[in-house]
A and B are shown apart, each in its own frame.
Chain A
Amino acid sequence: MSTADGFVRNRHAASTLPYLRWLVLAFGAVAIVYPLAVFLINSLKTDQQFIVDPLGLPSYWAFGNYVTAWVKADMGRLILNSLFVSICSTALAILLSSMLAFGLHAYRFRGRRAVLASIVMMITIPAQVYIIPLYIIVIQLHLINTYWALILPYAAGAMPLAVVLFSNYFASLPRELMDAARIDGASSVDVYWRVLLPLARPVIGAVTIFSFTGAWNEFFLALVLMQNKDVYTLPLGMQVFANSAYSIQFTLLFAAFSISMLPMVVVYLLMQRQFIAGLAGGALKG
């Protein structure tokens, strides 16, 4: 290929590429937003309006759907349950993972690699593939239909990635940091709580995001382990609501699901940078 030909082609490419880029980006963005927007708009229609015209704007804005949905689906309770389970499992995962990583970092003993490996090797295995014995264990421990039936497995499920992140972070800190604190007479608890944990704030942030989001959205374990309406989490409660007597009141369902999506979407939009780093960062480091 001649150089001249190459230059001509490059200039040609340089002039069409920006348009191609915007075309691709716009197509992608519309493909993502459109279904959600249609869903949201339909949640503000009456059933008749939806059936006649599923694509248009509502002629009468049925905000009442939201009030009815909130009450009929008992959404306050579902949200509080999910919030409690997600917060507790996240806090537990952070505490136990950071302690474990600290123990393996601060003390040298035979078998510490084996301990780390036994946890990290489970990173690709989701809890649902051992749901049957998990169900039996939860029954044996008398945890069935309690929040702990979800909090403990969720925390354990978040541990492999959390331990990897904490371990790598502690290992990246200068060794002298710990030794200096020790010389100053700090106990190991002080070193952990006052020196390493405050420094590990970025890791705590990442673990909080992937652990909380995972717990908030989790469905399968909740489906198997929660058989009492009082302890339903949000995804489970919504699924049950969608299959209840209200399953034929379309726009009411739309409103209920819109409410259920709203908290996470709002938090995500406010902190999208941290969310993207927290949720995709683990895959890059693992």
Chain B
Amino acid sequence: MLNAAHTAVKVNARPIVRPRVRRRTPEFVLALPWILPGMLLFFVFVHLPMLVQVVMSFGPDHLGQSFVVTLKNYSDLLADKKFWAALGHNLHYAVASVIGKVVLSFILAMALNGAFRGRAFFRAVFFLPVVISFVAIGTVWGFMLQYEHGAVNAALRALGLPTPNWLGDPRLAMWSIILVDIWKWTGFHVVIYLAGLQALPQEVEEAAIVDGANAWQRVWRITVPLMAPYTITNTIIATLGAFSVFDLVFVMTTGGPFNSTQVAMTQVYLNAFQFQRFGYASAEATVLLLIMGVVSVVLLRFGQREEAR
């Protein structure tokens, strides 16, 4: 329809807008100057590195060695306990941070929903950590959780409670980092949920009240199911973040204590830029890329099915 209308206008326009040039130059050529600069930048800095990375993962370990196709990087990877442990930490991070962020942000969004004084203020406060860099947040919380002088332990000591070594105890360090990540991003997910809550049809809620459903039933049976698409959006974002996490770990623990907070990206960084094992690190990064691709496709499909229901 639109196309037909478009051509009709064009026919009318022909005598006015340089007819010959228009007829001879294909649309593709006319579009080139507009799309080429962007495509070139994107190709050189996104598509090309992704392709090169896959190629490198089948190549030699060090730069400058002659290129021979080999599966050695991948066979090394299968046997590398450190890498699988790191991916396990990513999985732990993903599950814990997704649950934490989704549950907390849902509760806060429910509390923020509706028109009342102070709503904009609280929303702005919750969102504040989103605009602060991971480096700064990692440092702020690094000192909050510091064993000897940290504010958290100072408060616990004042209350006569035990003072854990939040970042120095291998059983606790990962949980501490996850907690900080939840702290940073919950406000972001609150805003996503708020958008969903505002799009909620009012009639359903009113009908439920008339039918005598109590507040708890209304939340559990109506709001939660209707919010499913937003829950999926929040889950996708939080999961992808959990698999690509680097900054917070690097700033707070650099993978320690005893490698208890090593994640896939810290392994890639160490192998590539500390040990110069570029081929091997490329294989690691390619596996990570694959995981992230699969995660986003699976969750997006799931989201589409939810929406279709």
Contacts and interface: CB of A to CB of B under 8 A. Distances in A.
B246 A220 contact: yes
A55 B34 contact: no
Interface stretch (A59-67, A68-76, A98-106, A197-205): A98-106
A276 B191 contact: yes
Contacts of A13: 214-215
A182 B13 contact: yes
Contact of A136 (B28, B52, B129): B52
A173 interface: no
A235 B125 contact: no
Interface in A253-286: 253-254, 257, 260-261, 264-265, 268-269, 272-273, 275-276, 279-280, 283-284
A122 B143 CA distance: 36
Interface string A108-139: 11111001001100101111111111111100
- What is the size category of the interface that chain B forms with chain A? 35 or more
Contact of B288 (A102, A129, A175, A272): A129
B37 A99 contact: yes
Contacts of B237: 283
Contacts of A130: 46, 49-50, 52-53, 285, 289
Nearest to B33: A103
Q: Is the interface of A mostly helix, strand, loop or mixed?
A: helix
A103 B139 CA distance: 45
Query: Chain B contact residues: over half helix, strand or loop, or mixed?
Result: helix
A257 B49 contact: no
A39 to B, nearest CB: 5
Nearest to A273: B120
Contact of B46 (A99, A122, A183, A218): A122
Contacts, number: 295
Given A29-B122, A32-B126, A132 B281 contact: yes
Given A33-B125, A153-B45, A128 B244 contact: yes
B136 A156 contact: no
B215 A39 contact: no
A132 B56 contact: yes
Interface of B: 2-3, 5-6, 9-10, 12-13, 16-17, 26-28, 30-35, 37-39, 41-42, 44-50, 52-53, 56, 63, 107-108, 111-112, 118, 120, 122-136, 139-141, 143-144, 149-151, 154-155, 158, 183, 186-188, 191-192, 195, 209, 211-215, 233, 236-237, 240, 244, 246-247, 250-251, 265, 268-269, 272-273, 278, 281-282, 285, 288-289, 292-293, 296
6 contacts: A54-B149, A119-B39, A132-B281, A156-B44, A157-B45, A220-B265
